[in-house]
Amino acid sequence: MNEKDLKALELDLLLESIQRRYGYDFRHYAQASLKRRVASMVNLLSLEHISEIIPQILRDDSVCNDFLRVMSITVTEMFRDPDFYALIRTKVVPYLKTYPALKIWHAGCATGEEVYSMAVILKEEGLYQRTQIYATDFNNESLDVAKAGIYPLDRMRLFMDNHNRSGTTSSLTEYYTADDDSARMSDALRENITFANHNLVTDGVFGEMNLILCRNVLIYFDKMLQNRVLNLFRDSLSHRGFLCLGSKESLEFSPVAQEFEAVSRHERIFQKRGLPKASSLAGGRGGD
C-alpha cells in the first residue's frame, strides 16, 4: 500500500472512530479542506501520523473538543457580501413584511457575525419585533462566542464599511457598545435570537421557517451531504420560504434545485416554488 492510500485509510479510521465514539459524522465532509484540518490536528498534538490521533481521541473528550475546534475554524465578517444584504432588503424584506410573524433559521452560524447582521437588517426594516431567529451550530464553543456577541474592535471598521454598503438607513454604532479593544452587540439585537446546538449532518427539521440562511457552510460538505442538507432545508421551509446560500455556493448539483426559483442567481437567494410539484414523473431531470 502506498503512502497516499495509507493516509486515506488512516483518515477513514479516524472519522469512523469519532463517529462511533462521539456521534459527530465528518465522513462526508469535502476532502481537501478536511485533510488540511486533520493535518493541522496532527501538528497540534505533535504527532506524526493521523492514526496516532485515534487512541487519544477515543479516551479523552478534550481531544475531541480540540478536533471540533479545528474543524470549526472559519473567518467571516458582519455583512459579508454587502450586495447580498442589499438584495435581502429590496427583494426579500417586502415579502416578509406581509407576514404577521416570522421564523428565521441561521444554520451553521459559527461565531455569529452574520446572525447579528441579519438582526440589524430586521431592526432597520421594522421586522425585528415579529421575528424569532434560531441560530444553530454543531460546535458549542462557536455558539458561546456567537451568544456573547463580542468582537475585536479592530474588525468593526470593516463591519461598518460593509454595513454602509448594504443599503442601510442607520449607523452600525447604534447596535453595539465599545470598550478599549472589543465591541459588544446590544441586547436589543439579542432579544429574539435563540442560539442552539444543531448538527446539519445528523439532526433533522425542528420548525417551519420563512427564511433559512446557510452561507458558506455547504462548501465543507461533499455533494452527497450537500444534497441531504438541502433536502432538510426544503422540508424546513414554509410555503414560498426563502433559502440563502453563500455567494459561491450552488444548488445545481442537487435535485432539490427544481423545487426552488432564483430571486437572485448571483447572490444565491432562492424561493421555494409555490405550485404543487409536477410530480416526479419526469424522472427528476431539468430544472434550473
Partner 1 sequence: MIETVVIGVSAGGLKALTAILPSLPADFGLSLVILQHVRSGSGRFLCEHFNRICAIAVKDATDKAYLEQGTAYIAPAGYHLLVEDETTLALSTEPPVCFARPSIDVLFETAAEVFEDRVAGVILTGANSDGAQGLAAIKAAGGLAIVQDPKTAESPTMPRAAIKATKTDHILTLQEIAFFLCELSEAKGDLKSCTNPNGANNVV
List 1, 3, 5, 32, residue binding partner 1 (CB under 8 A): 32
H helix intervals, 125-241: 140-148, 153-164, 187-190, 223-236
Residue 253 touches partner 1, criterion: CB under 8 A: yes
Binding mask 212-251 for partner 1 (x = CB under 8 A): ----x-xxx--x--x-------------------x-xxx-
Which of 215, 205, 218 has its CA nearest to residue 28? 218
Residue 75 touches partner 1, criterion: CB under 8 A: yes
**DSSP 8-state symbol, 91:** I
- As a whole number of angstroms, the distance between CA 237 and CA 240 comes to 8
Kindly state the smallest distance separating residue 51's Cβ from partner 1, in Å: 18
List 21, 27, 35, 184, residue binding partner 1 (CB under 8 A): 35
168 phi and psi, to 5 degrees? -75, 160
Kindly state the smallest distance separating residue 219's Cβ from partner 1, in Å: 5
Residue 36 touches partner 1, criterion: CB under 8 A: yes
Kindly state the smallest distance separating residue 113's Cβ from partner 1, in Å: 11
Task: State the number of binding residues for partner 1 (CB under 8 A).
Answer: 26
Question: Which residues, including other chains, have CB under 8 Å from residue 281's CB and lie 6 or more apart?
Answer: none
Residue 33 touches partner 1, criterion: CB under 8 A: yes
- As a whole number of angstroms, the distance between CA 163 and CA 154 comes to 15
What is the number of other CB atoms lying within 10 angstroms of the CB of residue 34?
Answer: 19
What letters, b where the CB count within 10 A reaches 16 and e where it falls short, cover 119-147? Answer: bbbbbbbebbeebebbbbbbbeebbebbb
List 6, 9, 12, 31, residue binding partner 1 (CB under 8 A): 31
Residue 80 touches partner 1, criterion: CB under 8 A: yes
Kindly state the smallest distance separating residue 101's Cβ from partner 1, in Å: 32
- As a whole number of angstroms, the distance between CA 247 and CA 145 comes to 24
Residue 74 touches partner 1, criterion: CB under 8 A: yes
Residues near partner 1 (CB under 8 A): 30-33, 35-37, 73-76, 80-83, 216, 218-220, 223, 226, 246, 248-250, 253
